Amino acid sequence: MTSNDNSCDPIFGTKPVLEALKSGANIDKILLKKGASVPVMQEIQDAAMDRGIPCQSVPEIKLNKITAKNHQGVIAFMSPVAILDLEPFLADLMERKPVPLLMVLDALTDVRNIGAILRSAECMGVDGVIIPEQGSGRIGAGTMKASAGAMAVIPIVRVRHIADALYFLQSSGFRMVGASEKGSTPLWEANLKGPLAVVMGSEERGLSKPALRICDELAHIPMQGQIDSLNVSVAAGLFLYERMRQQKMANDEA
């Protein structure tokens, strides 16, 4: 279930939203009234598409629950940080870092989990976190709070399709390691050295089928207790610590 995070004041009304889009404001996503066909709605959708901002068609009753004011069928949620595009971000990163580390969040929906992962990622030296346009929790004030401010420091990249992003990373020299109970490799035996992207799945379904197929290796965290799985943010922290340990050993041996 997608977690709501309406703690950032939304912008509503066709003209204010369109002006925000054209000004380059940090917009996380836009809700549009289902069935609205006025020309300005199409203009908003086109402008959002040009900037890679997801638009969602929803019933008017959902918009009315967010604000009682005249929203004119459109509400935009702001992001407290800039959201980056993958290709220019990666080109710049690979010029600066010989052994980059990325995290890919494959449709995580709970903003508290996303925030906790961002905090661990910043502490463990992750260079950027990749999220999908659709099916991901909002990058809003709730996420900022859960990250203890790390969201303002670590780059966040939004992509249209996770599978396309993973293929692009592979072609750029990254090794893909997915966290999955279906993986046959214990975490400490997985190869986490070199340019790496750690892929974490959603809270309910785990890694998507495309991610399971594309990853170079699937690793699991062996359990000894009666509960057979960890919270995704805890699992992410373990994967990142193991990566840090392995890379330090590789650097010491070089």
User: Is the pLDDT assigned to residue 73 strictly greater than 80?
Assistant: yes
Helix (H) or strand (E) segment spanning residue 251? helix 232-253
Instruction: Tell me whether residue 248 is in a domain.
Output: yes
Which of the two residues, 226 and 96, has the higher pLDDT score? 96
Q: Percentage of the chain with pLDDT > 90?
A: 67
User: Is the pLDDT assigned to residue 62 strictly greater than 90?
Assistant: yes
User: Is the pLDDT assigned to residue 128 strictly greater than 90?
Assistant: yes
pLDDT tens profile 34-43: 988 889 999 9
β 11-12/74-78 pair status = antiparallel
In this structure, are 111 and 158 located in the same domain? yes
pTM above 0.85?
Answer: no
How far apart are alpha carbons 239 and 232 in whole angstroms?
10
Decide which of 29, 49, 78 is a domain's last residue. 78
In this structure, are 200 and 245 located in the same domain? yes
What is the span of the domain harbouring residue 91? 86-253
